[in-house]
Chain A
Amino acid sequence: MSLITANSVGVSYTGRRVLFDIDFQINRGEIVTIVGPNGSGKTSFLRVLLGVVAPDKGRITRAKGLRIGYVPQRLHLDPGLPMPVSRFLSLPSRQSPQAIAAILERVGVPDVARQNMATLSGGQFQRVLLARALLTRPDILMLDEPTAGLDQPGVAAFYRLIEDVRREMNCAVLSVSHDLHVVMSASDRVICINGHICCEGAPQVVRAAPEYRALFGLGTGGALALYQHSHDHVHDEDCDHDHNHTKEHAHHAG
């Protein structure tokens, strides 16, 4: 049974149409990645599924008693609000110190429980956000550009963690990303959004679809870079390339 279903959903903000004709569903244990250019409505899509914004067309159906673990893109912490990590993890429901220690260990930041949230690095912060979402024992994890601001190895490590966690907890994962390459290796399905669903399918299919190519392929060098780094068989070459590059550096240094 699907966890969340969207039937011909449309969303507008103050008359501006952001999303239209969205049909979507996600099943237990699935990893689905949403990609799309800036302003394409990716985040709005996530927010309408969360229930933060109401669709003005169509309908959203959530499975009864669905527990959503939401990992926002960023969290603005007012400096006036002292918030230790352990306290943050006890939202929305209180957690035992044991549970907090265990989950922090699991996401790879075992020593931060007593620290203030404001003192965490970007990567630590992201993992604490994930830990909080996991403590709610979610049926579905929703991640909004969770790797924004992480470096390449950081992104890879974060996605490996998500994959492991998904296996352990058997939750679905819905992740919004601007980085097709890294996400593709992890996800069952990729959905490309630009106001509506342009194309959808297994990772390779999306990359090859003309609609997707049209979306990213027009013009700029940035889009081209996306192609270079964005699929499985080049992935190996990428690794080689990076490897050589590192060796060169080592050589220079020596």
Chain B
Amino acid sequence: MLDDFLMRALLAGLAVAIATGPLGCFVVWRRMAYFGDATAHAAILGVALALGFQISIFIGTMVVALIMAMVVATLAGRGWAMDTTLGVLAHSALAFGLVAVSFLPNVRVDLTAYLFGDILAVSRFDLAVIVLGSALVLGLILWRWQGLLMATLSEDLAQSAGINPGSERMVLTLALAVVVAVALKIVGALLIAALLIIPAAAARNLARSPEMMAAFAMAIGAVSVFGGLQLSLARDTPSGPSIVVIAALIFLATTLGAALVQNRSAR
């Protein structure tokens, strides 16, 4: 079954969707959208370093993403103006990464694979790493769910309940770095943040509780992966962007649906 590249692509995509669903909810609730962008863009720098030092791309992107996330978190703690700081860091990391890749002498790198993903080229080994990474992220979030939710609502409230908001923030930072590393192959550095935010935002229109929203975000992510792959096969479109396009259409549908329902109940 795993010999089929389509099956591998589908499984890898579903695994990532299951991790990005709940994590994406926290990204939305904590307004970390740009934070996610900066972390994801740093992945290209990670790719360059990994190729330069001949280490695993997963490790390279994860380490650089983690460093970027921690730098941003530290600067945020010191009261820097976040939109500017993130804008500088996100795009600098991307630019440095692109330039660094061009310096690599003997490597012919197909950059589009890293910028937009290459889900149809997922190998058995890739699949194993992706499933493992996604399971790790999902497990981490489920395990800390109450604490994460509490710290998201109010750090003071969390502290009063004996929950350290700093370590909850660390959990999310770590989860984000892992997701960036595993999702790079699926949608690429430029669209990882989309996979985090769009399913969660679409789920918001349907959900009445945080748990429901996380579950819907997973489901919407999974449907997007499935639909995106079908679209990619049928029309020969790039697979990563196709997945995001389906997610965006679902977002549009749930938003319009929610508006309709609200209108009807208002009358």
Contacts and interface: CB of A to CB of B under 8 A. Distances in A.
A92 B163 contact: yes
A76 B146 CA distance: 18
Given A91-B146, A136-B161, A72 B156 contact: yes
A88 B161 CA distance: 14
Given A51-B159, A70-B160, A92-B146, A82 B154 contact: no
B233 interface: no
B152 A92 contact: no
B209 A92 contact: no
A65 to B, nearest CB: 10
A78 interface: yes
Nearest to B155: A52
A93 B29 contact: no
A81 B152 CA distance: 10
Interface residues of B, number: 30
B208 interface: yes
Interface centre among A47, A50, A81 (most CB of B within 10 A): A81
Contacts, number: 73
A83 interface: yes
B213 interface: yes
A75 interface: yes
Majority secondary structure, B binding face: helix
A78 B152 CA distance: 9
B207 interface: yes
A78 B31 contact: yes
B215 to A, nearest CB: 12
Nearest to A75: B154
Interface centre among B155, B158, B161, B212 (most CB of A within 10 A): B161
Contacts of A93: 146
A204 interface: no
Interface string A34-55: 0000000000000100111000
Nearest to B30: A78
Interface centre among B30, B147, B154, B157 (most CB of A within 10 A): B157
A128 to B, nearest CB: 12
A142 B160 CA distance: 9
Contacts of B157: 70, 72, 75, 91
Interface centre among B159, B200, B212, B213 (most CB of A within 10 A): B159
Contacts of A91: 146, 149-150, 153, 157, 161
A72 B158 CA distance: 11
A69 B159 CA distance: 11
Interface string A73-93: 001111011111001100111
Closest 10 CB pairs of A and B: A70-B160, A92-B161, A81-B29, A80-B28, A52-B159, A68-B160, A91-B150, A82-B207, A87-B209, A52-B156
Interface of A: 47, 50-52, 68-70, 72, 75-78, 80-84, 87-88, 91-93, 116, 136, 142
